[in-house]
Structure 1
Amino acid sequence: MRSSNPVFSRRGFSRTGGYAGFDAPPQAGGPATATAGNPYAQQQTTAPNPYATNPYAQAPADQQQGAYAPPVAPGRMTMDDVVAKTGMTLGLVVIAAAAAWIAELPIGVGFAAALIGFVLAMVNSFKRKPSPALILAYAAFEGVFLGVISQYFNERWSGAPMQAVLGTMAVSAGVLVMYKTRIIRVNARFQRFVLAALIGFVLLAAVNLLVAVIGGGDGLGLRTGGMGILFGTIGVLIGAAVLAMNFKQIEDGIAYGAPKEESWLAAFGLTVTLVWIYLEMLRLVAILQGND
């Protein structure tokens, strides 16, 4: 089953053997064997490997024969690559957001930037190869939107953006710790549940927005009061679960020798997820302040 999540919908980022990310088994047991589960291996027993011609594809170091494990080849994705690319995309988001805040751009400009960012996100999700230029363009437009919307929220609920930033950092750190300690296990059941919850959440939010536009007011009331707090909390939890799936994708990509260019895809996935968590945190903080 191919995922609707941009992070898992690309070539090797799918599962056919029951587990999320690169056909790998549950993370507690480590990566799959080089032939049965590694989409970057030279031999395949299931689906063809889209990276079979990659000269750097090889099994993880702890599965290689012999006492000597060769160093990571320059054509393979590494954690440093992912960190560097993620730093670039998130840095551009922050710079664009700060510029939009300082310029005091109107709310209409922010929503126009959000629409362009959404289109770019869809394009990046379905391209055969990661495009650094398009990913950075997405980060820039998304940053403009975040700067405009954050300024708007700050004027109505003073300090809400900073609290949302701190909340996003806390959630990200918590998910990383729970993932590394195997408290969170990204397997087939986890992925199916998260994707179902994500689709349901997005559809319900769309219906709420449509009712609000047509009938005015708060729509179904999913963004105000007690129901808004519950809905916002669920949104943050879904974002946290998707973030764990991002970590799984990165871990498997490094273990199975994904090409270096795929680090842009990993950075894009992390950026999309962190923006999601921040926006849900921002709405949640605003509701909580309004209830004081």
Structure 2
Amino acid sequence: MSNPVFSNSAVFGEPRRGAGGATTAPGGPGQYGQAGQFGAQAADAASLQNMYNAPSASPVDTKRLTYTDVIMKTAGLFALLVVTAAVSWSLVDAMPALWIGGMIVGLVLGLVNAFKKNPSPLLITLYAAAQGLFLGGISAFFETQYGGIVAQAVLATLSVFAAALGLFSSGKVRVTPKFTRFLLVGMVGYLVFSLVNVVLTWTGVLDGWGLRSGWMGIAIGIFAVILATMSLMVDFDSIKRGVEQGVPAKFAWSAAFGLMVTLIWLYLEILRLLAIFRE
């Protein structure tokens, strides 16, 4: 006996034996060589033609990752971030601890989401909300010190994002192993420098921006912005490979989370660089 799936199929079904050993085609009455045969053949031909004419399964039909998924998830998360940032901005004087709590919660959730094998939409959404509280409070602080700086930082961040996307899409900048190694070495060096600078300022050895003061601070800030821009291009390349390889659609949340982390870092670096320029 053949596979029942094929046996019961109008296309692959086996002929049935009728009375006297005559063969009856599936899907229609009559004996082989008579009208039933031609009716069955016509039905089978029509079924095959319908299958051939049917559109190919799209990534949406097969639940694979698409660029649309990534765009929609990213836009939704950033919309939430903007809303919570506006709330934190308006309450920065009445509830100064709100943005500090957002910073701590955002850091914890960022680490949790970064090491999860499967994305959690809830945790990623909470991360976006917490980061919004943090960015709203710290942006309000910088705006009080340097009027108009937040609008400049937002515009610069969007401009850098658009430029990075344009360069990557055009193929003028490619993410090669050498590109990735340079980014990795640069980020490790920048992390070490930042930790040393934090220790020196917190212990009172240096004041103000610490090692970031003056032209050295400007040079370090520009270098950090370059690193964040390179990181954006690596993000674009990762998303591109994910779409081409047909990874599950649920990983659109991971892609959106990764873009958020890099863009938040880029915004903070630009905000700090502009403040050093103002000094």
* Bin of the TM-score, shorter chain as denominator length: 0.7 to 0.9
Match of 1:271 in 2: 260
Aligned to 2:90: 102
Aligned-partner Cα distance in 2 for 1:222–1:243: 26
SS at match of 2:126: helix
Q: Matched residues in 1 for 2:74 and 2:133: separation?
A: 18
Partner residue in 1 for 2:34: none
User: What letter is aligned with 1:85?
Assistant: K
- One-letter identity of the residue aligned with 1:259: P
Q: Distance in 2 between matches of 1:273 and 1:267?
A: 10
8 A contact 1:107–1:149 mirrored in 2? no
- How much identity, in percent, do the aligned residues show? 39
Quick one: distance in 2 between partners of 1:287 and 1:229?
7
Q: Which whole-Å CA distance do the structure 2 matches of 1:209 and 1:111 have between them?
A: 17
TM-superposed deviation, 1:87 = 0.6
CA distance in 2, matches of 1:102, 1:111: 15
Contact 2:92 2:99 (C-alpha < 8 Å) held by counterparts: no
Deviation at 1:70, TM superposition (A): 4.4
Q: How does 1:164-179 map to 2 (within 5 A)?
A: 164-179=153-168
Do the aligned partners of residues 112 and 203 (structure 1) sit closer, same or farther apart at CA in structure 2, a change above 3 Å counting? Answer: farther
Paired residues for 1:202-241 under 5 Å: 202-218=191-207, 221-241=210-230
Which one of the candidate residues 58, 65, 74 is aligned to 1:71? 58
Is contact 2:106-2:127 (8 Å) kept? yes
Match of 1:121 in 2: 110
Q: Secondary structure at the match of 2:212?
A: coil
TM-score, normalising length: structure 1: 0.73
Deviation for aligned residue 1:99: 0.6
Work out the CA distance in 2 between the residues paired with 1:220 and 1:282. 13
Identify, as 1 or 2, the structure richer in helix: 2
**Contact 2:88–2:98 at 8 Å: present in 1 too?**
no
In the other structure, the counterpart of 1:155 is 144
Following superposition, the deviation at residue 119 of structure 1 comes to 0.9
The runs of 4+ residues in structure 1 deviating greater than 6 Å are none
- Asked if the contact 1:222/1:231 (under 8 Å) is kept, the reply is no
Per the TM alignment, residue 95 of structure 1 is displaced from its structure 2 partner at its CA by 0.8
Give distance in 1, aligned partners of 2:205 and 2:96.
19
Q: Quick one: distance in 2 between partners of 1:71 and 1:252? A: 17
Q: CA RMSD in A?
A: 1.6
Q: What is the rounded CA distance, in whole Å, between the counterparts of 1:147 and 1:220 in structure 2? A: 21
* Paired residues of 1:232 and 1:280 also in contact (CA < 8 A): yes
Q: TM-score, normalised by structure 2?
A: 0.76
Unaligned runs of at least 5 residues, structure 2 = 1-54
CA drift at 1:182? 1.2
- AA aligned to 1:243 is L
**What is the number of residues matched between the two proteins?**
223
Q: In 2, Cα distance between the equivalents of 1:263 and 1:278? A: 22
1:84-114 CA distance string (max 9 Å, x none): 1001111111111111001125554323321
Q: Distance in 2 between matches of 1:221 and 1:136?
A: 35
AA partner of residue 58 (structure 2): P
* Equivalent residue, structure 1, for 2:184: 195
The whole-number CA distance in structure 2 between the counterparts of 1:159 and 1:288 is: 13
- The separation in 2 between residues aligned to 1:237 and 1:287, in whole angstroms, is 17
Q: Secondary structure at the match of 2:210?
A: coil
Letter in 2 for 1:257: G
Alignment partner of 1:90 out of 61, 75, 78: 78
